[in-house]
Each structure stands twice: as structure tokens, then as C-alpha cells.
């Protein structure tokens, strides 16, 4: 495992820097004096367009790429826009990874997510469980595209020796999260529902499904911290030589959706009742990452869930609600 800061002055392209993950990575890199950052909005550079991506890489030759650009959403969006989820994500990652290879990129970190693991995989989810069984139906198109991204990195390493590898964060939340109820993940959706119910003096809030599934949540600034730790200390060979294709990032702790709802209601100050819409799907029963590998490399999460929810709610009030 190398452990130097040879990447400090490299030209780092943060793809997706306007998103929740990309903006956290950019903030954290800037805070640590990585001042050679390259960022393009999707209007300036549409990663779906191969020619635009090729021209950008040829002109800029980024030395490090953090792949946080993707089409992302919760159960409803994943299940409704199935074709868009598979097409957009395949195109974005194929265009970027191939151009990174063509232009001699020294290191690329690709972001997947825990939904790439099989629906009924044993818990906690070990890196080895990739491709060992069927995926959850609602997000299968997204997961297939993400698995293709993991395998692109792995096979560009195996054929061309590219220093490209993938990280699998658990569910993330924090500043710049998506609070649109049509497309958001569970934590920001609940935060908004409870907030609006409090403001409108509603007596109850309805959750999708039984509330019994268990989920793990990582504050996005902790993920950004992990990305920088990996840039500085972990190379592709360190991953693939262990017989795995990607490395998990999470807290290693999970809670039920009902417990999460109670915690958010407490932080938001909603005092009404929590009801359940049992006609709606629960999704995968449990998704907990085995984070022993990243822990043994020397990285651990810092922000406990309640503290992270408090920070996120503060951000929501300042940036969404009061605008």
C-alpha cells in the first residue's frame, strides 16, 4: 500500500461536482489544498455524448478522475425510468472510463452503490458477493449499469494496467441531497415529509411499506473523506490482488426505516403519528455493508447518524426551505 501525497498537485477531474457526492468530494479536496481541480457542469460537458467526452479528455488530460456523475434516484425513479437508468449510466461510465484510458489518466475512482449486491445476499454484504445471485427488480437496470462500470474498471486494469477501481458506498445523505419527493432517496424524502407536516400542522405522515427493512446510512462528507484517503493510499492492484472488484464504504451499522423515521421526526420536531402505506413495496429487506476491508486499510466513518441528520436538516432549512 503506497502512502504518499503524490496526487496533491495532480489535475483532478471531479465528474458530477454539482451532485451530492461530487460537491462533497470537491469541498473536501479544496479544504485539503488540492487546488488543481477540474469541474464541468452537464451543460458544459454532457457525458452522454462520446465526442464531447473525447474532446474534453484530449484537451484537458486529467491525471485523476473521480466518477461521481450518474443518473441517480430512489425506488420510484429507478422503477419508473428503467430504460433511462440503464442507458444513461452505461453511456456516462463507458465514455469517461474509455477516454481516461486513452489519455493516460493515472488514477480513476468509480462510484457504485450497495444495490449492486444480490437481493438475498447474506448480510453484511461482502465484496465477494458481487454477481453471486439475482438483483432486486426495482433497481436492476441501475445496478446492471453500475456492475458494468465496475467491470470496465477491472478489465481496463487487467488488459491495459489502468489504475482504475470502484468503491461501493452505502446509502448516503447530506448537503446537496435531492429532496424532490418524486425522485429522492428515503432519508431526504422523510426529512421533507416530516418538515412539511410540522409546518402544516398535519396529524400524521405516511411511510411507504412496513418500515421494517433495515438500512445503513453514511454522511456524505465522510464518504468524501474516504475518497481522499483512497486517492492517497490505495491503488488498483491493492483491490484486484485480493480477488475482489470493488471496495465497500459505510458505517457497518444499520437501523430499520421505522427507527430512521422516528429519529428524523425528532430532529425535525414533528410530533404527529407515523402511518404505513402497505400497498407500496419495501424493497430489499436488509442492506448492510461489510466494511472490514476499508476499516483494516485504516479508514473509519466519523459522523454518527443523529449528528448527520441534524447537519442535513440545517442545510435543508438554509438552502431549500428558506429559498
Ligand X SMILES: NC(=O)c1ccc[n+]([C@@H]2O[C@H](COP(=O)([O-])OP(=O)(O)OC[C@H]3O[C@@H](n4cnc5c(N)ncnc54)[C@H](OP(=O)(O)O)[C@@H]3O)[C@@H](O)[C@H]2O)c1
Residues recognised as catalytic: 142
- 3-class DSSP assignment, residue 314: helix
Taking the CA atoms of the chain, what radius of gyration do you get in angstroms? Answer: 19
* One residue of 171, 184, 251, 303 binding ligand X per CB under 6 A: 171
Give the Cα separation of 22 and 176 in Å (integer): 10
Give the Cα separation of 203 and 197 in Å (integer): 8
By CB under 6 A, residue 246 contacts ligand X? no
- The window from 46-54, 120-128, 234-242, 251-259 that contacts ligand X (CB under 6 A) reads 46-54
Q: How far is the CB of 279 from ligand X (least distance, A)?
A: 25
By CB under 6 A, residue 68 contacts ligand X? yes
By CB under 6 A, residue 207 contacts ligand X? no
Nearest alpha-carbon partner for 144 in 80, 88, 220: 88
By CB under 6 A, residue 295 contacts ligand X? no
By CB under 6 A, residue 21 contacts ligand X? yes
Q: Grid coordinates representing 215?
A: 438500512
* One residue of 8, 10, 11, 18 binding ligand X per CB under 6 A: 18
Give the Cα separation of 85 and 18 in Å (integer): 19
Q: Which residues face 109 on adjacent strands?
A: 66, 165
By CB under 6 A, residue 191 contacts ligand X? no
Q: How far is the CB of 170 from ligand X (least distance, A)?
A: 7
By CB under 6 A, residue 41 contacts ligand X? yes
Q: How far is the CB of 89 from ligand X (least distance, A)?
A: 8
Residues in the chain: 323
Q: How far is the CB of 60 from ligand X (least distance, A)?
A: 15
By CB under 6 A, residue 72 contacts ligand X? yes
- Burial classification of residue 315, based on how many CB atoms lie within 10 Å of its CB (0-12 exposed, 13-18 middle, 19 or more buried): middle
- Burial classification of residue 35, based on how many CB atoms lie within 10 Å of its CB (0-12 exposed, 13-18 middle, 19 or more buried): exposed
* One residue of 12, 37, 47, 116 binding ligand X per CB under 6 A: 47
Q: Grid coordinates representing 301?
A: 466513518
22 vs 62 by CB, closer to ligand X: 22
Contact positions vs ligand X (CB under 6 A): 16, 18-22, 41-42, 46-48, 68-72, 92, 111-113, 169, 171-172, 178, 185
Amino acid at each position: 500500500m503506497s502512502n504518499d501525497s503524490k496526487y496533491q498537485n495532480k489535475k483532478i477531474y471531479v465528474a458530477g461536482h454539482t451532485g451530492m457526492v461530487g460537491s462533497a468530494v470537491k469541498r473536501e479536496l479544496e479544504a485539503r489544498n488540492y487546488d488543481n481541480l477540474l469541474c464541468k457542469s452537464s451543460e458544459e460537458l454532457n457525458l452522454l455524448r462520446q465526442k464531447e467526452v473525447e474532446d474534453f479528455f484530449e484537451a484537458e488530460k486529467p491525471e485523476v478522475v473521480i466518477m461521481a456523475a450518474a443518473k441517480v434516484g430512489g425506488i420510484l425513479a429507478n422503477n419508473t425510468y428503467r430504460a433511462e437508468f440503464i442507458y444513461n449510466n452505461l453511456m456516462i461510465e463507458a465514455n469517461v472510463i474509455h477516454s481516461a484510458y486513452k489519455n493516460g489518466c493515472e488514477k480513476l475512482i468509480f462510484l457504485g452503490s450497495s444495490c449492486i449486491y444480490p437481493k438475498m445476499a447474506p448480510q453484511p454484504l461482502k465484496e465477494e458477493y458481487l454477481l453471486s445471485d439475482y438483483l432486486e427488480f426495482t433497481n436492476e437496470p441501475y445496478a446492471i449499469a453500475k456492475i458494468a462500470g465496475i467491470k470496465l474498471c477491472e478489465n481496463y486494469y487487467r488488459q491495459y494496467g489502468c489504475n482504475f477501481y470502484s468503491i461501493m458506498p452505502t446509502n448516503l445523505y447530506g448537503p446537496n441531497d435531492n429532496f424532490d419527493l418524486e425522485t429522492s432517496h428515503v432519508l431526504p424524502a422523510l426529512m421533507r415529509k416530516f418538515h412539511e407536516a410540522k409546518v402544516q400542522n398535519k396529524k400524521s405522515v405516511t411511510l411507504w411499506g412496513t418500515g421494517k427493512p433495515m438500512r445503513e446510512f453514511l454522511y456524505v462528507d465522510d464518504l468524501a473523506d474516504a475518497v481522499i484517503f483512497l486517492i492517497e493510499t490505495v491503488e488498483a492492484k491493492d483491490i484486484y490482488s485480493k480477488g475482489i472488484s470493488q471496495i465497500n464504504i459505510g458505517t457497518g451499522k444499520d437501523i430499520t426505516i421505522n427507527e430512521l423515521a422516528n429519529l428524523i421526526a425528532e430532529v425535525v420536531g414533528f410530533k404527529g403519528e407515523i402511518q404505513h402505506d402497505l400497498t407500496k413495496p419495501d424493497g430489499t429487506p436488509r442492506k448492510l455493508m461489510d466494511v472490514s476491508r476499508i476499516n483494516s486499510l485504516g479508514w473509519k466513518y466519523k459522523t454518527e447518524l443523529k449528528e448527520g441528520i441534524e447537519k442535513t436538516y440545517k442545510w435543508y432549512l438554509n438552502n431549500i426551505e428558506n429559498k
